[in-house]
């Protein structure tokens, strides 16, 4: 096998065939990829279920970082997006845009990482595509994944269903992914204490839904962080939200880094956290279910949903440690480009 | 709206929201995108149908060319891949990787083109993602689409089902897309006569299946051209194939360009052509159905399937205009990088 990716690996000919067989198939090939047709042919579930469908591209730099890599992220990100609908994620597609000269060893490592986390999540990569761009028109590797899952009959989740009185939960500490990537790029000294939280959360979501079946919605606070996620939900439902800063779990190292760098931890990206809004009477059950999962040990109830007055648009506020209130705005520009 | 794409448009914050609303939603937004959740929530068909699922990334340069653009291609390519399974394509995902500084007007034009051809094909873009990479790490715009369709109960197509005696059809002239792109890049003089054939072929496929229900398989001869497609099918089915060169439709301008540039037209990419293998007794019906479709007026029966002797691997041959035979090999390296 060639040591580096060449333009010919994207040709549609025998070189492309070789990279598919020796890299992609070797890492995560199954019967659908083996069939070698242009579309995977897959069974559908029982009548009454619905389709959940999502996509994400991944352009993170560096490609490898403490706690994960771009391949791990590409599987987790789409698994989590599909799972937020209450679906069991089932199938993934995977499109690579490789830059000429990218080391084949790195590509293999990325594919293995995708295979491992796909297995953990219980999803299969069933269809794919490979393009190679000439040197200077990429950054080694970009990955797009899309994902399909099936939503059980009668299950309806969505950001539009939050109601005053509901509790807001988060499955763990904020900011780990964003600050880890940042520290890798800048080679900052606090780096040793940190790793990305990237993780597949579909099992955690299923367990929360088992414990708290009236959960309104899940959303993963990736780009734009908790601030963007809560503002989106508040707007979709036409409600206010208030978050108690003291209850929001943040690691000391992340808090320190944010203070030093001038970041608002509420706007920093997470890749292994889930926000969920649950009716008050089921919120403790949801919390217990989260904490029982390996990726939810630091879960907390961080706030609640309030009615939004008629005379203004929905608002998310934070009650600070000093008891004062401040408005939690959505991120406006770009804080940390290419975080995922 | 900003005139150029900025890093902040990929931030997850309000700038990203604006590009989604003012560019993507404006072009092809429907109820699923409007719902604003992380995964689209979609109905499934009746029990017994199956899922067809495919993906492709598009990195073609230039972005705009006679007969289409990267957005048009991104919809057609995935629609066609899904349709080759005999499915009715239904939903698309769309992931953009934009380079900082890309003109917003170009992006809008691309999105409008996606919207128009999606409408023609009868598919809807139901979920998407936007990433922005810093200047010098992309080439304006890369697009990934994935597509989902449903395969009617009892319909089974695939490259593994070709049988000796079957006929090989192609839905029109070869090489139009590849040579058009090539001529745009090089500003060659024959450019005026050519345009890309990029087109959605799902309706054509449905019409062929109506006329010739025992059709074995469809495949679109994109990268690697007819040569790669036929070699793939021959290998999947363990059969030989022979193609009559005289029967293969090629436009004069394309033939001339190939001669001048030293390309084998059988290895040049097509984006609006379909190869199909049909039992002999249904082949004339399939041909009529193709020719009745606007994208199949130049369709032809170009060859047939033969048994492969036990003592060697499957082989595709061409009977030339002079009556001699030559072997039609798969493309080995790269002929025209970034053709799609």
pLDDT at A261 > cutoff 90? no
- Tens digits of per-residue pLDDT, B269-307? 999 999 999 999 999 999 999 999 999 999 999 999 999
Residue A69's Cα: distance from chain center in Å? Answer: 13
Which stretch of DSSP H or E encloses residue B55? strand B50-58
For an interface test with A, the pick among B6, B16, B30, B37 (most A C-beta atoms closer than 10 Å) comes out as B37
The half-sphere exposure of B316 on its side-chain side, counting CA atoms within 13 A, is 23
Report the pLDDT value the prediction gives residue B192, as an integer from 0 to 100: 67
Is the Cα torsion angle B55, B51, B202, B289 positive or negative in sign? positive
Contact call for residues A176 and A195 (beta carbons, < 8 A): yes
The Cα B302–Cα B286 span in angstroms is 13
Peptide bond into A289 cis (omega under 30): no
Instruction: Report, in this order, helix, strand and coil percent for chain A, each rounded to 5.
Output: 35, 25, 40
The domains located in chain B, with CATH, are 7-151 (3.30.1330.10), 159-327 (3.90.650.10)
Can you say whether residue A61 is alpha, beta or left, with left for phi > 0 and alpha for psi between -120 and 50 degrees? beta
With a cut of 80, say whether residue B231 has pLDDT above it: yes
* CA gap A19, B64 in Å, rounded: 30
User: Would you state the structure tokens that stand for residue B258, as one six-digit string?
Assistant: 């190939």
A-chain residues within 8 Å CB-CB of B15?
332-334
The whole-angstrom separation of Cα A268 and Cα A182 is: 10
Judge: A47–B44 Cβ closer than 8 Å, yes or no: yes
Q: Look-up: residue for tokens 């706030």?
A: A303
Tell me the CA end-to-end span of chain B in Å, nearest whole number: 29
How close is the nearest chain B Cα to the Cα of A81, in Å?
A: 5
Task: Answer yes or no: is pLDDT of A13 > 90.
Answer: no
Chain A CB contacts of B131 under 8 Å are 57-59, 142, 338
The answer to whether A317 touches A244, Cβ cutoff 8 Å, is no
CB A235 within 8 A of CB A330: no
Give residue B32's pLDDT: 84
Closest-CA residue to B82 (of A32, A37, A39): A39
| CB nearest to B44's CB, from A7, A8, A44 | A44
Which of B52, B55, B223 to mutate against chain A (most A CBs within 10 Å)? Answer: B55
C-beta atoms surrounding A64 within 10 Å: 15
As a whole number of angstroms, the distance between CA A180 and CA B113 comes to 39
Summary mean pLDDT of chain B: 93
Query: How close does chain A come to B39, measured CA to CA in Å?
Result: 5
Q: Cα(A160)–Cα(A235) distance, rounded to whole angstroms?
A: 8
Q: Give A266 to chain B, closest Cα distance, Å.
A: 12
Interface with A, mutate which of B16, B35, B39, B48 (most A CBs under 10 A): B39
In sequence order, what DSSP letters do the residues of B152-183 get, joined into one string? PTT----GGG--TT-EEEESS-SSHHHHHHHH
B47 with A44: Cβ contact below 8 A: yes
Q: How many CA atoms lie within 13 A of B234 on its CB side?
A: 29
Read out DSSP for A122-167? T-EEEEEEEEEE-TTSS-SEEEEEEEEEEEPTT----GGG--TT-E
Q: What is the pLDDT of residues A92-136, one digit of tens each?
A: 999 999 999 999 999 999 999 999 999 999 999 999 999 999 999
Q: How confident is the model at residue B190 (pLDDT cuts 50, 70, 90)?
A: low
- How far apart CA B212 and CA B215 sit, in angstroms, is 6
- The answer to whether residues A90 and A150 touch, using CB atoms and an 8 Å cutoff, is yes
Handedness of CA A8, A14, A20, A26 (dihedral sign): negative
As a whole number of angstroms, the distance between CA B35 and CA B302 comes to: 48
The pLDDT mean for chain A works out to 93
Rounded Cα–Cα distance for residues B214 and A137 (Å):
45
Of A56, A131, A337, the CB nearest to B59: A131
Cβ atoms within 10 Å of B49's Cβ, excluding its own: 19
DSSP structural state of residue B127: E
Predicted pLDDT of residue B48: 86
Q: Which of residues 109-128 of B touch A (CB under 8 A)?
A: 126-128
**Count of A-B CB contacts under 8 Å:** 300
Q: Is the CB of B54 less than 8 angstroms away from the CB of A38?
A: yes
- Would you place residue A232 in the very low, low, confident or very high pLDDT band (cuts 50, 70, 90)? very high
Q: Is the ipTM of this complex over 0.90?
A: yes
**How many other CB atoms are there within 10 angstroms of residue B312's CB atom?**
8
Say whether pLDDT at A1 is over 80: no
d(CA A125, CA B251): 39
Q: Using CA atoms, how far apart are residues B304 and B242, in angstroms rounded to an integer?
A: 6
- Which positions ≥6 away from A260 have C-beta within 8 Å? A190
All residues at 6 or more sequence positions from B80 whose CB lies less than 8 Å from its CB, including other chains: A38, B200, B201, B202, B220, B274
Q: What is the pLDDT averaged over residues B49-75?
A: 96
Q: How far apart are the first and last CA of chain A?
A: 29
Residue A313 has pLDDT above 70, yes or no: yes
Please give the Cα distance from B321 to B328 (Å, whole number). Answer: 15
The β-bridge relationship of strands B217-219 and B275-278 is antiparallel
Task: Give per-residue pLDDT as tens, B134-175.
Answer: 999 999 999 999 999 999 999 999 999 999 999 999 999 999
Mean pLDDT of A77-91: 96
Q: Answer whether B40's CB lies under 8 Å from A54's CB.
A: yes
Residues 6+ apart with CB under 8 A from A290: A169, A171, A204, A207, A208, A274, A296, A299
Q: How confident is the model at residue B2 (pLDDT cuts 50, 70, 90)?
A: confident
User: Under a CB-based contact definition with an 8 Å cutoff, are residues A76 and B150 in contact?
Assistant: no
Per-residue confidence (pLDDT) for residue B219, from 0 to 100: 96
- The answer to whether A39 faces chain B, any CB pair under 8 Å, is yes
Question: Taking a C-beta distance cutoff of 8 angstroms, is the pair B96, B141 a contact?
Answer: yes
Planar angle of CA A184, A70, A95, nearest 5 degrees: 150
- Is B137 within 8 Å of B67 (Cβ atoms)? no
Q: Which of B53, B52, B44 is nearest to A52 (CA)?
A: B44
What are the two backbone dihedrals, phi and then psi, of residue A158, each rounded to the nearest 5 degrees?
A: 175, 155
B314/B324 Cα distance (integer angstroms): 19
Q: What is the pLDDT of residue A191?
A: 64
Q: Mutual orientation of helices B252-261 and B176-186 as an angle, nearest 10°?
A: 60
CA-closest candidate to residue A39, choices B90, B50, B54, B147? B54
The CA distance from A115 to A92, in Å, is 11
The count of other CB atoms within 10 Å of the CB of residue B137 is 19
- Whether the CB-CB separation of A11 and A100 falls below 8 Å is answered with no
Q: Does A313 touch chain B (CB under 8 A)?
A: no
pLDDT at site A279: 98
pLDDT tens digits for range B82-131: 999 999 999 999 999 999 999 999 999 999 999 999 999 999 999 999 99
Query: With a CB-CB cutoff of 8 Å, which residues 238-267 of chain B face chain A?
Result: 267
């Amino acid at each position: 096998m060639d040591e580096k990716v060449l333009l010919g690996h994207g040709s549609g000919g025998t070189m492309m065939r070789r990279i598919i067989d020796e890299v992609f198939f070797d890492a995560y090939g199954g019967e659908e990829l083996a069939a070698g047709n242009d579309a995977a042919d897959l069974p559908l579930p029982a009548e009454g279920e619905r389709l959940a469908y999502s996509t994400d591209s991944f352009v993170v730099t560096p490609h490898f970082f403490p706690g994960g890599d771009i391949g791990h992220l590409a599987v987790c990100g789409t698994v989590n997006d599909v799972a937020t609908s209450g679906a069991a994620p089932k199938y993934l597609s995977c499109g690579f845009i490789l830059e000429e000269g990218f080391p084949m060893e790195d590509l293999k490592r990325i594919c293995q990482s995708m295979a491992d986390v796909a297995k953990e999540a219980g999803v299969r990569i069933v269809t794919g595509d490979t393009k190679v761009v000439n040197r200077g028109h990429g950054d080694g590797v970009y990955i797009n994944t899309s994902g399909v899952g099936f939503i059980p009959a009668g299950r309806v989740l969505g950001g539009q269903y939050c109601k005053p009185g509901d509790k807001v939960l988060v499955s763990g500490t904020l900011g780990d992914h964003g600050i880890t990537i940042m520290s890798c790029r800048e080679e900052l000294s606090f780096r040793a204490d940190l790793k990305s939280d990237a993780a597949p959360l579909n099992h955690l979501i299923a367990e929360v839904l088992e414990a708290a079946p009236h959960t309104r919605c899940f959303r993963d606070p990736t780009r734009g962080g908790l601030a963007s996620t809560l503002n989106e939900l508040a707007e979709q439902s036409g409600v206010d939200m208030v978050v108690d800063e003291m209850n929001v779990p943040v690691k000391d190292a992340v808090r320190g880094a944010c203070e030093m760098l001038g970041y608002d931890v509420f706007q920093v990206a997470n890749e292994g956290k889930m926000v969920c809004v649950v009716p008050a009477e089921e919120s403790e059950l949801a919390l217990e279910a989260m904490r029982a999962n390996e990726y939810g040990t630091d879960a907390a109830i961080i706030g609640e949903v309030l009615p939004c007055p008629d005379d203004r648009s929905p608002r998310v506020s934070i009650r600070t440690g000093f008891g004062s209130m401040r408005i939690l705005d959505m991120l406006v520009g770009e804080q940390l480009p290419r975080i995922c």
